[in-house]
Amino acid sequence: MIALTAAEVAALVGGVLSGPIGPGELVDGPVVVDSRLVAPGAVFAALQGEHLDGHDYAEAAVAAGARLVLTDRPLNGVAGALPCVVVADVDAALGALAHGVLERLRGANASDDGVPAPVVVGVTGSVGKTTTKDLLSQLLAGHAATVAAAGSFNNTIGLPLTVLRADAATRYLVLEMGASGVGHIAELTRIARPDVSVVLAVGHAHLAGFGGIDAVARTKAEIVRALTPTGVAVLNADDPRVAEMASFAPGRVVTFGTNAAADVRARDVAIDRAGRASFTLVTGSGTAPVTLRLVGDHHVSNALAAAAVALELGVTLPEVATRLSAAEALSAHRMHVVDREDGVTIVDDSYNANPDSMRAALKALATIAGRDRRSVAVLGEMLELGAESRTEHDAIGRLIVRLNIALTVVVGPGAGPIGDGANHEGSWGDEILRVDDVENARLLLREVLRPGDVVLVKSSHGAGLWRLADELIEAGGHA
């Protein structure tokens, strides 16, 4: 975080100083919510979680060097009072601090063209947010100082923490904005109003919270409505619900996709045996060849979105093509491919899942396995689908049969309809195996995997298959 006095921190969050801290004392360390990450001069936000209360770790944070603690009450340690800013709501205070710091930066800094810095890029969509953010950070970092969200820091905790990493040198601030209900993205844009808003897709994620696909579309559109007056909307021309959001943009709209009318588009898309896409990047200023290192043809759309933003922000077409072709997947458990020494290939896409991302991952599995390797899908439940859960899981089971996946391990009762759908589509043999939990899946895979297998592991994060993916990779191999 930029250096502030304790009094300035208190003013930004609407809090009151408490304990042994003078109003003029400098606070110049990072803002953290984990006491293990405290560095000298830090602000420790004592958040109340489902299982842990940050207030219980405040004393340890101060002992580790935290200069100030955001709390909802005055706190005392063994040696006496702790230095606190007392607020009504620590979560809200974290967002207020981020908003205040960002406004200070943008008020004090401007680029050569007079645009306030950092330029805020907001990325949302039912699928692809994290990958697009990772690609974009790699495209922009070589152009100017860039801060981007770590992993999936896309909520009212993660987004402020990302904003607070920016300083006077930061030119671009790339933020992922997620939602599980109407109004969630609007809340994030009040913390950091975007100069560039990217909408990737409207899909069947978190339907239990939204109540239907139309509500998902309205929520994703919140990022477009929140644009600064001179902001730019970057929209997926291949998704009709996203394309319609152009009417909400206050200014320019840039489109991307395989659609011939898109401003930034892919032509001559080809997929190799490793599941990696190559294409010709077509723009208004020319064309350039791109070969992605990411696995899955669905990443073409993510790459086009990132390219559209980078081009808009002044990165040249040759630079965009070169950096896209060199870009790696930076976040864990997202189409991470590992070839084990025993000949088994693990495709770890276990961070999260919804029907759209599940279909994309299964298609990639079929491509990588081809005709000469056995395809194995280890699938857990897709959470938060509400009334559509059984139907959506059933549809995945039917797709498995159509893709000719050789073996599917269905993990947990919530994923059971995947097996039902496969049976209804025509799988009557031992191609579908069901287990009750991750431990039983682990034991089964020890028995059935053999050299040459290509194994996809995918589920929603809460289903826990990411632990199994880690263990399968650690069982022996190299990236």
pLDDT for the residue numbered 426: 85
Q: Of the given ranges (101-115, 223-237, 392-406, 446-460), which has the lowest mean pLDDT? A: 101-115
Q: How confident is residue 478, by pLDDT bands cut at 50, 70 and 90?
A: very low
412: left (phi over 0), alpha (psi -120 to 50) or beta: left
Q: Tokens in use for 249?
A: 């943009």
Tell me the domains of the chain and their CATH numbers.
Answer: 4-92 (3.40.1390.10), 109-326 (3.40.1190.10), 336-474 (3.90.190.20)
Phi, psi of 338 (to 5 degrees): -130, 125
**HSE-up of residue 157 (Cα within 13 Å, Cβ side):** 14
Tell me how crowded residue 144 is: count the other CB atoms within 10 A of its CB.
17
DSSP letter for each residue of 130-172: HHHHHHHHHHHHTTS-EEE--TT--STTHHHHHHTT--TT--E
Residue matched to tokens 């990217």: 198
Q: Tokens in use for 215?
A: 């509500």
Is 60 exceeded by the pLDDT of residue 477?
Answer: no
Sign of CA dihedral 425, 430, 431, 432: positive
**This prediction's pTM:** 0.90
Q: Which residues, in sequence order, are CB contacts of 193 under 8 Å at separation 6+?
A: 120, 226, 227, 228
> CA 171, CA 142: separation in Å to the nearest integer?
11
Adjacent-strand bridge partners of 435: 411
Of 453, 421, 414, 455, which Cα lies nearest the Cα of 435?
A: 414
Tell me how crowded residue 328 is: count the other CB atoms within 10 A of its CB.
9
pLDDT > 70 fraction of the chain, expressed in percent and rounded: 96
> CA 17, CA 146: separation in Å to the nearest integer?
33
> CA 137, CA 343: separation in Å to the nearest integer?
34
Tens digits of residue pLDDT in 374-403: 999 999 999 989 888 999 999 999 999 999
Q: In what order do the strands lie in the sheet with 345-348?
A: 336-339, 345-348, 454-458, 375-379, 407-411, 432-435
43-67 mean pLDDT: 95
Q: At what angle do helices 465-474 and 438-448 cross, to 10 degrees?
A: 30
273 residue type, one letter: R
Is 90 exceeded by the pLDDT of residue 90?
Answer: yes
Of 158, 142, 138, which Cα lies nearest the Cα of 150?
A: 158
330-345 mean pLDDT: 92
Tens digits of residue pLDDT in 233-268: 999 999 999 999 999 999 999 999 999 999 999 999
